[in-house]
Amino acid sequence: MARAPSLLAPLLSLGLGLRLVLSLPGAGAMDCGSFGRVERLSFAPEARVRWLAPRVREQGPLDPLYSTVRHFLSVVQLNPFPAGLVKVLLNEPSSVEVDEVVRYEAGYVACAVIAGLYLLVVPTAGLCFCCCRCRQRCGGRVKTEHKAMACERCTLMVFLLLTTLMLLTGVVCAFVANQHTHQQVGPSAEALPETLLSLRGLVSDVPQELQAVAQQFSLPQQRVLEELDGIGLSIGGSIYTQLRSTVYEALASVQSLGQALQVSMDHFRALNATLVELQEGQRDLELAVPEHRERLLIRLQEPGCEGCAGALSQAQALELGANYSQVPPVGDVLHRLKGVPEANFSSMVQEENLTFNALPYLADFETANMVRELKNMVAQQPAGLRTLAEGFPDWEAASHWSQALENVAQSSRPYLKEVQRYEKYRWALGCVLCSVVLLVVVCNLLGLTLGIWGLAAREDPSHSEAKSEAGARFLMVGVGFSFLFAVPIILLVFATFLVGGNVQTLVCRSWESGELYEFADTPGNLPSSLNLSQLLGLKKNISIHLAYQQCKEGASLWRVLKLNDSYNLEEHLDISQYTAKLQQKLESFKVDTKNLDLLSPAAHRDLEALQSSGLENIHYPGFLVQIRKPLVNTDVEKLAQELGRLAQTQSNSVLGQQLQEEAQGLRNLYQEKVLPQQILVAKLNLSVRALASSTPSLQLETSGVLHRVTYLKEELPTQATRILRNESMCFLARELDYFSQYVAWVREQVTQRIATCQPLSRALDNGRVILCDMVADPWNAFWFCLSWCAFFLIPSIVFAVKTSKYFRPIRKRLSSTSSEETQLFHIPRVTSLKL
C-alpha cells in the first residue's frame, strides 16, 4: 500500500507522542509531574455494529459420534477434491462424463452396491421365510429335547439380548441426531439470507460512518480547550513551585542581612556617639581630677593629719587611667556609611514576597492573549479529517455489492424454503422408521422377558406355557417388522448418506482445507456469472483465498478490494501541520520575571557601602585596651568614704572640716563625672564587642548575598524560561496524547470496524459452521446410526427366529433321567408331553 509521508503517523500512543516532543530542542529531560497522568478519552463507539457474531457449535455428547462419522467418510471417499470435474459441472454440465463421476464416487458406489445387496437379500429372505412359515416348515418349535438344548437356548438368548441392546443404542442416537438435524436446518436456512443482507451496508454506509467518526474529534478538542483555560496558572504555578525554595531562601538571607546590617549600624553609631561623649567627659576629668589630687595631697600631708597615710597613698594615685583619645579612628568608616541603611529591608522583602507569590497570576495575565490564539487554532478541524468521509471513493462497487448480495439472498429463499419443507418430510420419516426400530427392540425385549418367564414356570407341571408362547410370538412380530421396514430404512439411509456424505467430503472438507478458495481463484473454474470481481465491477481481479486471509487478519476494505490508489487513510489522519502550529504557539510562551528584583537599588547601595566601608578593618582590640583600663586609677567613691571617716577622727576641727569638704567634692566628682563616664564605657564596651564579633561574618554574608542576588538576577529569568519551556512541552505532550488517542481510535474504528472486511471472513466461517458443523454433522450422524440399526436388524432376525423355537412347547422329550443333563432354570423331567 502506497502511503503518503506522514509526520504524525507514529502518534498512535503516548510513548510515541512523547518521543516526538522529546526530540525538540531543550526538551531532553522533562519533568511533567505537575500535570498528572493523562486521562484516557472515552470515545463514543460507532452505533452500527459491523461485527458478525461467530457461530460455534456447542460441545455435546454427540461429538465423538460426529468424529467417528467423519473418519468413516474419509475412508469412503479417499479421492482429493475433483477440481476438473467441478469445473466442467459448473461451466458445461452436459459434457460431464459418467465414468469420471463414478471414479470419483467409487467409495459411494461400493456403499451403493452394499445397499443394493441389502435391498435384494433382506426382502427375499423375508419372503422366503414367510412362505416357509405358511407351510410350517421353518421357525416352528424344537421337536425333541436333547442334552445341549439348554446351552443353545442360553447362547441364543444372550446374543439376541446383545443385538437388541446394540439396536437400542443405535436407535436412541438416531432419534437424537434426527432431532438435532431438524432443529438446526430451520434456523440455519433463515440465517443465510440474513447474513448476506447484513453485509449490504459494508461499503455503502462507510462514508456516513466516517463522517460520524470525524466528528468525534471534538472530544480531544474540547479537552484541550478546557486545559488551555488554566495553562497560564499552571505554568506560573510550576515556575513558582520550582523557584520557591531558591527565592525564599535568597529573600530570607537578604532579610537576615538587613537585620544584621541594621543592628551593626546601630552599634556603630552608638560606638561613635559614645566615643564622642567619652572624649568630652575625659576632657572634663582631665581638668577636675588633678585639681582634686593637688588639694588632697596638701590636706593629707599636713603635720596635724592623723591616720592619713593610707588616704595619702590613694590620693597620690588619683590620676586618669583610660585615654579614649588613643582609640582607633572611625570617622572615615562613619563617613562611608553615612545614610546606611537607606532601604527598609523588611518592607522590601515583604514586597518581593508578594511579587513572587503573584507569579502564577502574572503568568496567567501575560499568556492570556496567546491562549486565546491557541483556542482559535485548536477550535479548527484539521483538513484531513474534514475530508475523511469525502475522500472515500464513491465507486460503483458499492451498488454492485449490494445488488449482488440482494440477488443471492432473494434467489436463495425459494430453495431454502424447499429445503425446510423436505427436511420436515425427512424428519417425519426418520421418526417413523426410528419408532419401528424401537418397536422391534421392544418386541425383542418383551419376547425375551416372557420367554424366560415361561421357561422358569415350566417347573410347575400344572402351569400353562402361554407366557413362553407369547414371548415367541413377540419375537416373531419383531421379525415381521424387521422384514417389512428394512427396505424403507435402507433407502432412507442411502439417500441421506449420499447427500450428507458428499456435502462433507466434497464441500466441507475442501472448505476447511482451503481447496475450495483455491479452486475459485483459478481462472476459468467459475463461470462469469459467479466471478466476484465482475460482480463488484472492479477493474482488478481479486483472489478470494487471499481476500479471506486478509479479512481474517483485519485488513481494511479498500486494501482487500485493491482500492489503495483511490483512498489513503494515512493522508487523512495526518494532522502534523495542525499539531506543528500548536507546538509553535506553545514555544512562544513567555513569562516576565524581571519585576522580581530580590534587592532594591537602595538596598543594593547599602550593601555595597557596607562592603566597601572598611568596618571590618577597625581595630576593635584598641578599644578594648582602653575599656579595660579604669577611668581613674583610684576608686574615687572609696577614697571619698575614707576621707569622710578621717574627717571625723581628726582632732583638728579645721582639718576635719577641710577633709569633709574634699570627700564631698570627690563624691560630686564621682556622681557628675566618673559615673556617667563608666556608663558610657559600658555602652561602648557592648557596641565594640558586638561589632568585633559580627563584622567579619557580616562582611562575608554581605559578599555572599550580593553575589547570590547578582547570580539570581541573571539566573531566575533563565530558570523561569527553562521551566516555562519544560511545562509547555509537557503540556504539548499531554495535548498531543489526546490527539494521538483520537488518531489511534479512528484508525481502529476505520480499519477494524467501519471499513474492515472482517465481517466477510466471519460470514464465510459462519457459513461453513452452519453447513458443516450444525447441519451436515447431525445429518450424517443420523444416517450412520440408522444404518447401524439396519445392519443389526439382520442378526436380530436370525437370533429372534432361533430363540423363538426354544420358547414354544416341545412335543417330544427324551425319557432319560440322567443326572448329567443340565436344563436352564432347572426344568424338571416329565414322562409325557403336557399340551
Choose among 475, 453, 471, 472: nearest CA to 463.
Answer: 453
pLDDT reading at 428 higher than 90? yes
Q: Assign 288 to helix, strand or coil.
A: helix
- Band of the pLDDT at 529, cuts 50, 70, 90? low
CA distances from 613 to 203, 335, 488, 606, 687 (A): 90, 9, 132, 10, 17
What local confidence, expressed as pLDDT, does residue 301 receive?
A: 83
- Band of the pLDDT at 341, cuts 50, 70, 90? confident
Which residue has cell 433321567? Answer: 817
What local confidence, expressed as pLDDT, does residue 14 receive?
A: 31
453 burial level (CB within 10 Å; 0-12, 13-18, 19+): middle
CA distances from 783 to 292, 595, 786, 791 (A): 155, 97, 5, 12
- Grid coordinates representing 55 are 457461530
Predicted TM-score (pTM) of this structure: 0.58
Point out the least confidently predicted range of 7-21, 120-134, 418-432, 572-586: 7-21
For the stretch 447-457, pLDDT in tens is: 888 877 777 66
For the stretch 674-704, pLDDT in tens is: 888 889 889 989 988 988 888 888 888 888 8
What span, in angstroms and rounded, lies between the C-alpha atoms of 525 and 519?
7
CA contacts within 13 A on the Cβ side of 265: 22
- Averaged over 179-196, what is the pLDDT? 82
Going by the DSSP 8-state scheme, the letter that residue 530 receives in this structure is: G
What local confidence, expressed as pLDDT, does residue 57 receive?
A: 80
- Grid coordinates representing 688 are 565594640
Helical spans, DSSP H, in 458-600: 466-502, 509-513, 515-521, 532-536, 544-552, 557-560, 569-572, 576-587
What span, in angstroms and rounded, lies between the C-alpha atoms of 699 and 704?
9
pLDDT reading at 7 higher than 60? no
For the stretch 759-812, pLDDT in tens is: 788 888 888 888 898 899 999 999 999 999 999 999 988 888 888 777 776 654
Residue 144, beta-bridge partner list: 812
- Grid coordinates representing 477 are 412380530
- Band of the pLDDT at 15, cuts 50, 70, 90? very low
pLDDT reading at 38 higher than 80? no
For the stretch 72-90, pLDDT in tens is: 999 998 888 888 888 888 8
- Band of the pLDDT at 51, cuts 50, 70, 90? low
- Band of the pLDDT at 822, cuts 50, 70, 90? very low
CA distances from 182 to 56, 421, 690 (A): 18, 11, 113
Q: Which residue has the higher pLDDT, 405 or 797?
A: 797
End-to-end CA distance of the chain: 98
**C-alpha 634: how far from its chain's center?**
96
Residue 632, beta-bridge partner list: 320
- Averaged over 359-383, what is the pLDDT? 81
What span, in angstroms and rounded, lies between the C-alpha atoms of 22 and 693?
54
For the stretch 611-665, pLDDT in tens is: 888 888 888 888 888 888 888 888 888 888 888 888 888 878 888 888 888 888 8
For the stretch 478-515, pLDDT in tens is: 888 888 888 999 999 999 999 999 999 999 999 888 88
What local confidence, expressed as pLDDT, does residue 5 receive?
A: 32
Mean pLDDT of all residues in the chain? 79
